[in-house]
Structure 1
Amino acid sequence: MTLPPLPTRLVFSAAFALMAAGCGTSPPADAARPTLARSARAIVGTSLIGARGATPADQEAIDATAAGLCGAAVWTRAECRKHQQAAAVAP
C-alpha cells in the first residue's frame, strides 16, 4: 500500500487536529445577577453617572455611554442614529 502525497497527508492531519481541538469543553457560565450587572457595566460604562449634559464634559460622558449601548446592540440602529443626530445639534 502506498501513502497519499504529502500535501494530502498534511491537509488530513490539519483537519484532524482542528476537529480534536474543537471537541474541548468550557466550564458553565455564571448567570447570577452580580455577574450580569458587572457585564452590563463593562459594556455600557459608568461615565453617565452624574452627567446632565450641561457641559461639554457631560456631553462626552453621555456620548460614551451611548457608544456602549450602540456597540452592545442594546439600542437599535435607529436609536443610535437618533442620538448621533441629537448630539451633532447640541451646542
Structure 2
Amino acid sequence: MTVALMAAGCGISGPVDVTGLRRVAGTDLIGARGETPADQRKIDRTVVGLCAGKVWTAEECRQHGDKQ
C-alpha cells in the first residue's frame, strides 16, 4: 500500500509556476534573431541570467564568450 501511495505522487504534470525561470532567463531573447548588434545584446543578457542562475556550467558560460 505504501509503495502505491508513493508512486501516485510521482506524476508527470508540468510546473505550476515558472516565475523563477522567467526571472533567471528574462524576456530579452524574445524576438532576437542575432542579426544586429541589438539582437546580440539581447542574447548576451539572456546568457548572463542563465549563467548567474547556474543553469549552465562555468565552462559553458565561458564558451559563450569565445569567438566562433
TM-score normalized by structure 1?
0.55
Larger CA Rg, structure 1 vs 2: 1
Q: Note the C-alpha offset of 1:84.
A: 1.0
Bigger relative CO (Cα 8 Å, ≥ 6 apart): 2
The runs of 5 or more residues in structure 1 that have no matched partner are 1-31
In structure 1, distance between residues paired with 2:62 and 2:56 = 10
Give the TM-score, by structure 2 length: 0.73
Q: Which residue of 2 aligns with 1:40?
A: 21
Q: Which has the higher helix share?
A: 1
- Could you list the runs of 5+ residues in structure 2 that have no partner in the other structure? 1-14
C-alpha RMSD over aligned residues? 1.3
Identical positions, percent: 50
Runs of 4+ in 1 over 3 A off after TM superposition: none
Partner of residue 76, structure 1: 57
